Amino acid sequence: MVEYALNLDYIFASLADSTRRDILRRVSSQELSVGEIASPYDLTFAAISKHLKVLEKAKLIIKRRRGKEQMVRLSPQALANVDKYLEAYRRLWEERLDSLENYLKETEE
Binding partner selected for residue 55 from its own copies, DNA, none, CB under the kind-specific 5 to 8 Å limit: none
One residue of 1, 5, 46, 104 binding its own copies per CB under 8 A: 5
77 binds its own copies (CB under 8 A): yes
Query: Which region holds residue 59: left if phi is over 0, alpha if psi is between -120 and 50, else beta?
Result: left
Our CB check for DNA shows the closer of 54 and 82 to be 54
Distance between CA atoms of residues 9 and 14, nearest Å:
9
- Report how many helices (DSSP H) and strands (DSSP E) the chain contains, helices first: 5, 3
Rounded least distance, CB 37 to its own copies, Å: 17
Residues that bind DNA (CB under 7 A): 13, 16-17, 19, 33-35, 38, 42-47, 49-54, 63, 65, 67-70
Which residues lie across from 69 on neighbouring strands? 66
